[in-house]
Chains A and B, each alone.
Chain A
């Protein structure tokens, strides 16, 4: 019988996988957690939840003893993700693990991804920290695979279904009127239901060549953002969101983008009231600041004003309607424009989604309504708290 170690078992994907595999009873499951804070979803099943620190090589070597398969669903900051994975791969090799399944992300292709990322063979070009870390992890797994650890990398887009943080954020944004549909919502929305992903992991434990290939796992349906939003409107209890064009959104997105490096801006920041107030809490810097202020004051009112103007610039008044109306992190995802294809997983693993998009969204709605007490008969009072 397989003995499957699941790292990051208390997370969204990990917990769904544990629940699925426990139900199947085809393998012995060892669900490792990092800390107990997030583990109640699994604790309710009355199972052992051993804690393991991915940064502790010795502990990991011991923990994986006897495990034949390892699934890595662990998250963490860049350091923990890469250092932890290095340790995990080393422990897997040491314990002669037969197969290693790693979860990647479509963000390894960048945001927006290139048009040819319909297939996995497209050039990877991550644009954010998360995508970069995920790509680095993929390369580490592929290297371990070349060194003899049979591995499969599964690459999901946004994950939907019950407990989906992505869908919860969409519901929140719809409720707050902070989501706009781009071009009537006709752009593709790549989704995979969490149970479909768990099923893909389950079959990857046994099938496929395990040669370190990255495979997209999706719901394999041509879903648009309009389809997703339409499904969420009843739980969000809102009207259809406003529409914007691609160009309008690009303009808005541009204003919300990261600011570039500027010496002048950094200087202004250093002499800003907030920074000086923080420095004044320390007696030494308070003295320095006081001395400098007195020096500037001695130069006379006119010079003092000119100096202030030259550094801080004229006082800016922010117009109230100048604020960002939409949650750009979510809304701008409509600019991605590519539909990732899961043909490779279908060929290699025999993957076929268990649930349709419609079934997945219905499951999310049922879960959401239950969790938020929408059908208790007292939702009219509960919703006042939102």
Chain B
């Protein structure tokens, strides 16, 4: 049996605790040799929680020579400095989404990856879901027909919160709900259809990161132009999912890690729901968690000298999209009583 790929997990906050570390421990292809965090106590507690004894160090540089790759799961505005330190030492990096908090920082990471010949992968774990993999293949083949429109939405009241609360700072996160929730689908959108020709964003930010946003996209340069709308909220529960209208019918899929099928309803028989599922061997075992798939893909890319499923260039394209959306942002309505007359009280 080949030696496991030795990982350092940089940042021991929520996503490492709940996703990267358990996924790495579930894999016999990976070994967690170091937990890196400036808050030593947090890293030690995490190691104790999972009953492991990795190196506990404040800087990733302290374990260069003992690791084959690093997973960077620190606040978004710190990705660049950690990634550059790794890449300059030839250490491949899997960087939690988004690649960085600005396009310029992302570009520096991708450039360093090329210069030092080290893999840069980006943690868009949604792309490893079976129904997204299948949808990507089927859309490419035109299985569902010609696309007319698409929608995607995700909304939670509260929910996920980082230990450092970095997501409450626009500077640290690089944005608001668009970055926290929306970027996953937007990355899928870029993968399915490429970069849109037109885009516009409305959000409710008033100096901080937006809590709600609506973005609209238009693809004009294809043979059959189509458009889409995405809605993200951190104040309202919105059922998560994707709906695509084609000339043949409606394609729908739940936005969840365990959904493995796609629902199709033809325009001719809308009352009949067809479940579309892969009949052959799936690219990944269905019982394997998406974070484990992502980590194993990263390790595989490093060992086999191939590109990871989501490389730095794709992460950069997502950053370009975010920045263009924010550059074209308009204000979303927030004063719900504005067109109403008050009773007269001040």
Q: Which of B's residues lie within 8 Å of A, judged by CB?
A: 149-151, 153, 155, 157-162, 165, 167-170, 176-177, 204-212, 214, 216, 229, 231, 233-241, 243, 245, 250, 252, 332-333, 336-337, 339-345
Contact = CB atoms under 8 A, between A and B. Distances in A.
A300 to B, nearest CB: 43
Contact of B245 (A354, A362, A381): A381
A386 B254 CA distance: 11
A349 to B, nearest CB: 11
Interface residues of A, number: 43
A51 interface: yes
Interface stretch (A33-41, A79-87, A92-100): A33-41
A36 B252 contact: no
Contacts of B345: 199, 352-354
A162 interface: yes
Contact of B206 (A44, A199, A377): A44
A307 interface: no
Contacts of B341: 359
A378 interface: yes
A37 B161 contact: yes
Contact of B343 (A49, A353, A371): A353
Nearest to A10: B158
A43 B211 contact: yes
Contacts of A46: 170, 205-208
A372 interface: yes
A376 B214 contact: yes
Main secondary structure of the interface of B (DSSP, over half): loop
Interface string A349-386: 00011111001001110110011110011100110111
Query: What are the nearest 9 A-B pairs in CB distance?
Result: A46-B207, A37-B161, A38-B158, A40-B234, A46-B208, A40-B211, A36-B165, A363-B336, A43-B168
A362 B340 contact: yes
Nearest to B255: A385
A373 B153 contact: yes
A355 B345 CA distance: 9
B205 A44 contact: yes
B268 to A, nearest CB: 17
Nearest to B166: A36
A41 B235 contact: yes
B204 to A, nearest CB: 6
B332 A370 contact: yes
Given A44-B176, A371-B236, A385 B153 contact: yes
A384 B165 contact: no
A292 interface: no
B259 to A, nearest CB: 13
B229 A373 contact: yes
A36 B161 contact: yes
A367 B332 CA distance: 11
Given A43-B176, A366-B333, 11 more contacts: A36-B161, A44-B207, A45-B207, A163-B235, A168-B236, A199-B345, A356-B343, A370-B333, A373-B231, A376-B229, A382-B151
Nearest to B169: A43
A195 interface: yes
A330 interface: no
A47 interface: yes
A356 B343 CA distance: 7
Contacts of B243: 381-382, 384-385
